[in-house]
Structure 1
Amino acid sequence: MLAGAGPDLFSKFDGVIGMRTALLDSGVTDPFNLVMEKVLSPTRAICSGRDTILLGTYNYMGMTFDPDVIAAGTQALAEYGSGTTGSRVLNGTYQGHRECEDALREFYGMDHAMVFSTGYQANLGIISTMAGKGDYIVLDIDSHASIWDGCALGNAEVVPFKHNDIDAMEKRLRRIPEGAGKLVILEGVYSMLGDIAPLREMIAVAKKYGAMVLVDEAHSMGFIGPNGRGVAEDQGVLDQVDFVIGTFSKSVGTVGGFCVSNHPKFEILRLVCRPYVFTASLPPSVVATAATSIRKLMHGADKRARLWRNSRTLHTGLLEQGFRLGTSETQSAIVAVIMPDLERGAMMWEALLREGLYVNLARPPATPANMTLLRCSLCAEHSEDEVETILGMFQRAGKAVGII
């Protein structure tokens, strides 16, 4: 360190550096630096030179290679160029951005839709704009990082409650001072364990105390609910939700984020939401693919049914093999396999990769209760044979590592 210099700003990361070094020193392939050399389809890619089944991409409805989606993006790229080079409030609103928001309004049956450049920005922007100093945010302790960051940016009072605990949530709301602004934030599907929220009961409690409600449906849009609108639709309470946040990087199959709402004053957010105002808009090719995909998802009943079959088959099969899972029954397209510890989780991840299967390795502190998880996310395009092959891979790898 130079004379007179302050402390090393990297020292705060020494714990993570140590964890990563220990993993790599054990001989395990770096699970956080995988390169896909070629993507063959929504369910397969070439990884480390071999044909690999993809079971960790969140490509739930398999729209990334849909011919209509690709054609729409190709046409927009040729007609409008590679990017907008501007914010939505300046030169960054093209016809495609309006058409994408039209598709979202139609998909959700809501009055307003606002597209962000990422799903992370959607949460960051809406939450920080709606709840500021003097307001209160009541949220599930297992909320996504983008939700927590939105709370921090807005500088509201943050009041977390135990995961999916309705009574704990009500106790927090009861203690908030009379007349204060209140926002309750929930997720339809929680991405770590793949479990769903009891939205019907929770939203009833939120409304009892005069709170607005934001539901993040990132991991349920497209396949949960009669029309694929998410858990709120499935539980019959979508009309009571003030803001639905979602992403294009899961079921829609591209990149971007959005918020839909029926609030009559919603459109003012386009002028006061800083992560929207001060960010370049999505490229025309991206919004074209998103709009086309969203409109096709409106008629995706067959795909939704196939995805549910795949999820149930994998969930049941892994339980029968003796693995510990994040949920006792199939609740979503996420199947979380609980590992004994990070070292054996990484060994299991590598054993599966050698078998020709890619899954997500999730580790503390991002996981609930400091668990190490292998997160599997099913796709509607996985064939029945692929799911059976996946089960065989898990069984062989689990026995080799000593997990089962």
Structure 2
Amino acid sequence: MSDAISQPDKPESLPETAEGSKDLFSKFDPLIKQREDLLGSGFEDPFGLVMERVLSPVTAICNGRETILLGTYNYMGMTFDPDVIASGQAALADFGSGTTGSRVLNGTYVGHKETEKALCEFYGMDHAMVFSTGYQANLGIISTIAGKGDYIVLDIDSHASIWDGCALGNAEVVPFKHNDLEAMEKRLRRIPEGAGKLVVLEGVYSMLGDIAPLKEMIAIAKKYDAMILVDEAHSMGFIGPNGRGVAEDQGVLDDVDFVIGTFSKSVGTVGGFCVSNHPKFEIMRLVCRPYVFTASLPPSVVATATTSIRKLMDAGDKREHLWANSKRLHKGLKDLGFTLGTEEPESAIIAVIMPDLERGAGMWEALLKEGLYVNLARPPATPAGMTLLRCSLCAEHSEEQVGQILTMFEAAGKKTGII
């Protein structure tokens, strides 16, 4: 008897497609036209840039010229750290290129447990789970702990992975206006008594780079007996006395039930995680589908993550330098006349608001020709239909490079008429 999964009998012939039936790609037609119009205007594709060679955390060869990188989320510059690279090379030689299995089968190596141990030490928490991506961490944790009949209260500007986690779990989703305490409490007040409640927040919001008033929000969530999940993807390693994120910085980390994070920002590699002090947390390893049914990270990747996390525990000087870079660039861009996403620098993300997509693409291309790469962000990923040039600073950017970046923005801004 074959051990293959049985398949239903196939029909001898498939029915012919009805004439005039809907093309499943039709829903993308407006976006296809927008892209064609943009490229037809002579712009380089802002979403298809190829880095021909990466020279350092802050420089690469793009279109044949050396370019300053200001759109990589490589906040702490760990991608070229010698100790991080050496640990990855050793693991690659000792354990091979991949695990070929899920964490609940053959996919747990000693390196995965070491990474989880390092995360527990970094956050001072009892439990840690490592996922293959940060997206899967949100997808898995949210969909598993909040299901049908439960309620998720979340900020309307939440990341796509958070929304997708809500959809996968089939919970009732109750969004509230961005960072609005009154709106958040109003939503919680209306949830039926006795229902399961999860409040999902982010420390730093990735589009505008603004932070959440977590202290006040967590107090409200506790008032209504809700569990709390905070995504610290864009603050881990940088914000807080020990780099644990906005929750630590605002003194409420001990009140958070789950912290989600990623390795693709400050840690400098790829992967995601959740840390928690909940006494039943370990059961997640058996019931969280995006964890159970996904191949685990390669040994070389978890080795680099472990080394990076341990080094971030003692990275106060790098955090201080990154704050100095962020404050200088924010002030410089504001003084030049650009409109920014925040009044004051709140994180390592600085969003420059563009008048519209076409002029934003023109500014993006002008900056690239100056030798500067930033992110062009457009609706629907951005709030309020804005087009943004999103800058993410790195602790490895020198003072001289920040000065060069401001000169490039001034030249490109004048060339395109943005300033």
TM-score after normalising by structure 2 = 0.96
Helix, strand or coil for the counterpart of 2:331? helix
Q: Following TM superposition, by how much is the alpha carbon of 1:383 offset from its aligned partner in structure 2, in angstroms?
A: 0.2
- Equivalent-residue separation in structure 1 for 2:17 and 2:416 (angstroms): 47
Alignment match, 2:392: 377
Alignment match, 1:256: 271
Residue 354 of structure 1 pairs with residue 365 of structure 2? no
Alignment match, 2:260: 245
- Equivalent-residue separation in structure 2 for 1:113 and 1:5 (angstroms): 52
Alignment match, 1:342: 357
Counterpart selection for 1:111 from 108, 126, 139: 126
Q: Following TM superposition, by how much is the alpha carbon of 1:366 offset from its aligned partner in structure 2, in angstroms?
A: 0.5
Q: Following TM superposition, by how much is the alpha carbon of 1:176 offset from its aligned partner in structure 2, in angstroms?
A: 0.1
- Equivalent-residue separation in structure 2 for 1:13 and 1:187 (angstroms): 29
Alignment match, 2:13: none
Helix, strand or coil for the counterpart of 1:374? strand
Residue 309 of structure 1 pairs with residue 286 of structure 2? no
- Equivalent-residue separation in structure 2 for 1:222 and 1:18 (angstroms): 40
Counterpart selection for 2:172 from 133, 149, 157: 157
**Superposition misfits of 4+ residues, deviation over 2 angstroms:** 1-6
Counterpart selection for 1:290 from 285, 305, 311: 305
Counterpart selection for 1:67 from 39, 64, 82: 82
Paired residues, what number? 404
Alignment match, 2:283: 268
CA deviations 1:204-238 (Å, max 9, x no partner) are 00000000000000000001000000000000000
Counterpart selection for 1:278 from 293, 318, 326: 293
- Equivalent-residue separation in structure 2 for 1:8 and 1:192 (angstroms): 33
Residue 32 of structure 1 pairs with residue 47 of structure 2? yes
Q: What are structure 1's unaligned runs of at least 5 residues? A: none
- Equivalent-residue separation in structure 2 for 1:131 and 1:12 (angstroms): 30
| Amino acid aligned to 1:84 | T
RMSD over aligned CA atoms reads 0.8
- Equivalent-residue separation in structure 2 for 1:60 and 1:296 (angstroms): 14
Helix, strand or coil for the counterpart of 1:32? coil
Residue 95 of structure 1 pairs with residue 110 of structure 2? yes
Q: Following TM superposition, by how much is the alpha carbon of 1:7 offset from its aligned partner in structure 2, in angstroms?
A: 1.0
Helix, strand or coil for the counterpart of 1:351? helix
| Amino acid aligned to 2:413 | G
Counterpart selection for 1:173 from 188, 201, 204: 188
- Equivalent-residue separation in structure 1 for 2:21 and 2:138 (angstroms): 35
Helix, strand or coil for the counterpart of 1:295? helix
Helix, strand or coil for the counterpart of 1:149? helix
Q: Following TM superposition, by how much is the alpha carbon of 1:5 offset from its aligned partner in structure 2, in angstroms?
A: 6.6
Helix, strand or coil for the counterpart of 2:305? helix
- Equivalent-residue separation in structure 2 for 1:18 and 1:5 (angstroms): 21
- Equivalent-residue separation in structure 1 for 2:269 and 2:242 (angstroms): 20
- Equivalent-residue separation in structure 1 for 2:349 and 2:250 (angstroms): 19
CA deviations 1:232-285 (Å, max 9, x no partner) are 000000000000000000000000000000000000000000000000000000
| Amino acid aligned to 1:76 | A
Alignment match, 2:153: 138
- Equivalent-residue separation in structure 2 for 1:120 and 1:218 (angstroms): 10
Paired residues for 1:202-221 under 5 Å: 202-221=217-236
Alignment match, 1:45: 60
Q: Following TM superposition, by how much is the alpha carbon of 1:3 offset from its aligned partner in structure 2, in angstroms?
A: 5.3
Helix, strand or coil for the counterpart of 1:375? strand
Q: Following TM superposition, by how much is the alpha carbon of 1:6 offset from its aligned partner in structure 2, in angstroms?
A: 2.9
State, as a whole percentage, how many aligned pairs show the same letter: 82
Alignment match, 2:3: none
Paired residues for 1:324-343 under 5 Å: 324-343=339-358
| Amino acid aligned to 1:268 | I
| Amino acid aligned to 1:117 | S
Residue 363 of structure 1 pairs with residue 348 of structure 2? no
Which of these two proteins has the greater Rg computed from alpha carbons? 2
